[in-house]
Amino acid sequence: MSETQRLFERAKRVAPGGVHSPVRAFRAVGERPLIVREARGPYLIDAEGNRLIDYVLSWGPLLLGHAHPAVLGALREALGRGTSYGFSCEAELELAELIVEMVPSVEMVRFVNSGTEATMAAVRLARAATGRDLILKFEGCYHGHADSFLVAAGSGVATLSLPDSPGVPSALAALTLVCGFNDLDCVREQFERYGERIAAVIVEPFIGNAGLIPPLPEFLPGLREITREYGALLIFDEVMTGFRVHSGGAQALTGVMPDLTTLGKVIGGGLPVGAYGGRRELMELIAPAGPVYQAGTLSGNPLAMTAGLATLKTARAEGAFEILPKKASWLADALEAEAKSLGVPLSVTHAGSMWGFFFSPNSVSNFAQAKASDVRTFAKFHRAARERGVLLPPSAFEACFVSLAHDDAVIEETVEKLAAALRDAIQG
């Protein structure tokens, strides 16, 4: 039995499925999980000492790669001053000011400890600000595991959403409407039917949780126009797209300004973090400035703030926001060209420092099309890539990332190994 299997058998005795987040069980690709011993630069080293070029990058946070000296140095210095204060500190102030400077629509921000907390709080704030109860989300968009988001579309626009997980009350699920991503007709229809009751539309402006699915050009402007017409708020969940598709997020890239934005991942530099922010008159409804309650023991944790600050400052200083898109397009274009030469139906996309692909002959613009892609070939490709030392997200419904640590030599090595893995995957 390998060290990974030994450790995983132990883990399964004390944690559900042996993991602390479902995707890490590698069930979608039918592989043994990964138990990481160390991470450095572009690499993860597993319990057997295998070195993997990592394109998961902690599911987005690691813009600079693993264990970047600037982040470790800042953390070492902060560690000497304690791990948590339970009160305000300068690091949270400095990071809040940097986020306000970088994210165009954010005038004020509140830190929390995960993306889930951020989206939960943003929805509560939207309901308080509008006095309305309904929210509208999109199939394939993941906003964390709060009950209101774990819903499946009803059989048609007329039917209310159903719980998408046991434990979610139907009464609560019924307060979440669902449309297809990029389907403005559905959004209009929902607003015609329920418009006066809809507090907010929440959307991943580029979906990163169904694979990478970009918005059609008219989609985000359409959401902005419809929500404005009916007095509902528009929430951009930029937990993943923030500082990834652009230094100012999808709102800076597309010019569509939401009322509220949720953030996470990159702003913690790999430590637990989330944030929500937006227009001042909305954010000042949040306690203690206003009546809407939200709190958190470790909100603004000095170590997470320090890691986030070091990450964003170093990223700006080293030109990450100009350099990383080129790396992502290099990988995407090379993979697309290889698939074309092999006659493999592969739809590849990239946006800023995110990239993704579906084994599909057509481009993918919504979750139904993503689900229709060939996930069996994806699993074969994933396994063949991992055997060659390249780690892609262990699900067809995740996004890939790049970091400053993925230098030209690493990218060239990856291109070569993915080409070989693709040939393996189609051998049968």
Span near ligand KE4 by CB under 6 A; candidates 8-16, 138-146, 169-177, 323-331: 138-146
Nearest-10 Cα torsion for 405, 64, 322, 143: 120
CB of 208 to ligand KE4, least distance (A): 6
> How many residues of this chain interact with ligand KE4, rule: CB under 6 A?
19
Residue 119 binds to ligand KE4 (criterion: CB under 6 A): yes
Among residues 43, 55, 142, 230, the one annotated as catalytic is 142
Question: Could you tell me whether strands 354-358 and 400-401 are parallel, antiparallel, or unpaired per DSSP bridges?
Answer: antiparallel
Token pair belonging to 121: 């709080």
Distance CA 407, CA 383 (A): 23
Among residues 237, 276, 374, 380, the one annotated as catalytic is 237
Whichever of 264 and 352 has its CB closer to ligand KE4, that residue is: 264
Instruction: Tell me 63's DSSP state.
Output: T
In contact, 55 and 401? CB cutoff 8 Å: yes
CB of 304 to ligand KE4, least distance (A): 12
Please say if 142 is a catalytic residue. Answer: yes
Q: Any bridge partners for residue 198, and if so which?
A: 134
SS3 assignment, position 380: helix
Q: What type of residue is 350?
A: H
CB-nearest residue to ligand KE4: 115
Going by C-alpha positions, the residue among 92, 78, 79, 90 that lies closest to residue 301 is 92
Of 8, 26, 59, 359, the one binding ligand KE4 by CB under 6 A: 59
- Quick note: the x/- pattern for ligand KE4 over 172-211, rule CB under 6 A, is --------------------------------x---xx--
Residue 215 binds to ligand KE4 (criterion: CB under 6 A): no
Instruction: Output the DSSP codes for 78-137.
Output: HHTT-S--SS--HHHHHHHHHHHHHSTT-SEEEEESSHHHHHHHHHHHHHHHHT--EEEE
Residue 240 binds to ligand KE4 (criterion: CB under 6 A): yes
Q: Any bridge partners for residue 400, and if so which?
A: 355
Of 33, 42, 61, 144, the one binding ligand KE4 by CB under 6 A: 144
Span near ligand KE4 by CB under 6 A; candidates 43-51, 233-241, 249-257, 332-340: 233-241
Distance CA 408, CA 216 (A): 31
In contact, 342 and 106? CB cutoff 8 Å: no
Please say if 265 is a catalytic residue. Answer: yes
- Quick note: the x/- pattern for ligand KE4 over 276-315, rule CB under 6 A, is ----------------------------------------
CB of 18 to ligand KE4, least distance (A): 14
Among residues 43, 54, 259, 265, the one annotated as catalytic is 265
> Which residues, numbered 372-411, are part of the site for ligand KE4 (CB under 6 A)?
398
Span near ligand KE4 by CB under 6 A; candidates 95-103, 113-121, 289-297, 343-351: 113-121
In contact, 350 and 98? CB cutoff 8 Å: no
Residue 23 binds to ligand KE4 (criterion: CB under 6 A): yes
Distance CA 405, CA 408 (A): 9
User: Which residues neighbour 288 within 8 Å (Cβ) at sequence distance 6 or greater?
Assistant: none
Question: Could you tell me whether strands 134-138 and 176-179 are parallel, antiparallel, or unpaired per DSSP bridges?
Answer: parallel
Span near ligand KE4 by CB under 6 A; candidates 36-44, 71-79, 139-147, 292-300: 139-147
CB of 159 to ligand KE4, least distance (A): 26
CB of 340 to ligand KE4, least distance (A): 28
CB of 308 to ligand KE4, least distance (A): 13
In contact, 127 and 337? CB cutoff 8 Å: no
Of 1, 14, 21, 428, the one binding ligand KE4 by CB under 6 A: 21
Going by C-alpha positions, the residue among 392, 408, 351 that lies closest to residue 31 is 392
CB of 47 to ligand KE4, least distance (A): 19
User: Which residues neighbour 49 within 8 Å (Cβ) at sequence distance 6 or greater?
Assistant: 37
- Give the distance, in angstroms, between the CA of residue 63 and the centroid of all CA atoms in the same chain: 13
In contact, 34 and 44? CB cutoff 8 Å: yes
Residue 114 binds to ligand KE4 (criterion: CB under 6 A): yes
Residue 142 binds to ligand KE4 (criterion: CB under 6 A): yes
Instruction: Tell me 146's DSSP state.
Output: -
Whichever of 59 and 194 has its CB closer to ligand KE4, that residue is: 59
Residue 237 binds to ligand KE4 (criterion: CB under 6 A): yes
**What positions carry a catalytic annotation?**
142, 237, 265
Residue ranges that bind ligand KE4, judged by CB under 6 A? 21, 23, 59, 114-116, 119, 142-144, 204, 208-209, 237, 239-240, 264, 274, 398
